[in-house]
Chains A and B, each alone.
Chain A
Amino acid sequence: MMRYVPIALFLALAVLLFLGLGLDPKTVPSPLIDKPAPAFELPELREPGQMVRSEALRGKPYLLNVWGSWCVACQQEHPVLMQFAREHDLTLVGLNWKDDQETALRWLARFGDPYDQIAVDAEGGTAIDFGVYGAPESFLVDAEGVIRYKKIGPISPDDIKNDILPRLEAKP
């Protein structure tokens, strides 16, 4: 019986490593979950002269979606956001990350604009505060301004159903 111990250990290790292959190393857990969202005050993309302020967003939950017209995966994600904006009244805040204003506006004209507000983060400072390292990324911020959920990569209808909506319902 004991002679099978080495092969069992080997198999256990092989299974562990094989399961590891299925994990996505790009998905790094964010240390910001359940922490207050970083404060920001950035110009609004579509309304020159206006500012998007994190303080002003307090009181209602919102989904902060980091995107850029240069980002291919954002294009892929976009129809999901469009549908989400039609079906639910959660505030959708875009963070236009390291983008060119004109190109960004053209992109929205072409693919649709689901956002209630769009903050322009041309320098990427706010994105760094949020620990963003690739677009698209999305943060669910609750009414108290606390980050409850982060999605790295395009949001799928399943993410909305399983992760975002339940967290909204849990709130009074």
Chain B
Amino acid sequence: MTRPMLALLLFWFATGAQALDPMPFKDAAEEQRFQAITRELRCLVCQNQNIADSNAELAKDLRNEVFDMMRAGKSDAEINQFMTERYGDFVLYRPPMKGSTWLLWLGPFAVLFGGGLVVLRLLRRRRDSAEAQSPSASAAPAQQIDAAPNKAADPNEMIP
């Protein structure tokens, strides 16, 4: 990255940080709670930001809304419910586990598990063939690398 670009970026972030008008918090605990809530809410205008960080008009309105609800004595759950009733689960960075989201929550673990199984099988096979081919162990590695792709095509190795 060139120096002027970097300078421009830094400048951009600096103005961004300034643009968020501070809330009249009465103490640090209230501020912390406010930050915790708004960090977990997605800004729908600029979708990869939460409403704590976003400069969008709507994010500002929603921050005010959260603040007012906190002052009105609403619980975190009530505030989240207010948001999801209007904007859907998408507004939550941690959507609830349910029919439409189980793949989202469990998918990565399923892929990790499947990949782990494949790796485990490959390693086991490699060890078996190494054992079978010893004592000429020094020649074995090259042969195994050649053999591996074919063995990966075993029917039992399908990823679930």
Interface of chain B, main secondary structure: helix
Find the B residue at minimum CB distance from A7: B153
CB distance from A21 to the nearest CB of B (A): 15
CB distance from B142 to the nearest CB of A (A): 21
Across the interface, do A3 and B152 meet the contact criterion of CB distance under 8 Å?
yes
Q: Is B84 an interface residue (CB 8 A)?
A: yes
CB distance from A6 to the nearest CB of B (A): 6
Across the interface, do B154 and A2 meet the contact criterion of CB distance under 8 Å?
yes
Select which of B86, B150, B152, B155 is within 8 A of A128 by beta carbon: B86
Which residues in chain A, 1-55, are within 8 Å of chain B measured between CB atoms?
2-6, 9, 25-26, 28-32
Across the interface, do B159 and A9 meet the contact criterion of CB distance under 8 Å?
yes
Chain A residues within 8 Å of chain B by Cβ, number: 22
Which residues in chain B, 80-117, are within 8 Å of chain A measured between CB atoms?
84-90
Q: How far is the CA of A123 from the CA of B65 in the complex (A)?
A: 11
Q: Is B32 an interface residue (CB 8 A)?
A: no
Across the interface, do B153 and A3 meet the contact criterion of CB distance under 8 Å?
yes
Across the interface, do B88 and A131 meet the contact criterion of CB distance under 8 Å?
yes
Across the interface, do A133 and B152 meet the contact criterion of CB distance under 8 Å?
no
Q: How far is the CA of A133 from the CA of B47 in the complex (A)?
A: 11
Q: Which of the segments B9-17, B19-27, B55-63, B130-138 contacts the partner chain?
A: B55-63
Q: Is A124 an interface residue (CB 8 A)?
A: yes
Q: Is B123 an interface residue (CB 8 A)?
A: no
Select which of B86, B88, B154, B157 is within 8 A of A29 by beta carbon: B88
CB distance from B53 to the nearest CB of A (A): 16
| A3-B152, A3-B153, A128-B65 given; A28·B87 CB < 8 A | yes
Residues in A with CB closer than 8 Å to B62 are 128
Q: Is A116 an interface residue (CB 8 A)?
A: no
Residues in A with CB closer than 8 Å to B57 are 98, 124
Q: How far is the CA of A32 from the CA of B57 in the complex (A)?
A: 22
CB distance from A35 to the nearest CB of B (A): 8
Q: How far is the CA of A26 from the CA of B155 in the complex (A)?
A: 41
Q: Is A129 an interface residue (CB 8 A)?
A: yes
A residues whose Cβ falls under 8 Å from a Cβ of B: 2-6, 9, 25-26, 28-32, 98, 123-124, 128-131, 133-134
Q: A2-B154, A31-B88 are in contact. List 14 more A-B contacts (CB 8 A).
A: A2-B153, A2-B155, A5-B153, A6-B153, A9-B159, A26-B47, A31-B85, A31-B87, A31-B89, A98-B57, A124-B57, A128-B62, A133-B45, A134-B58
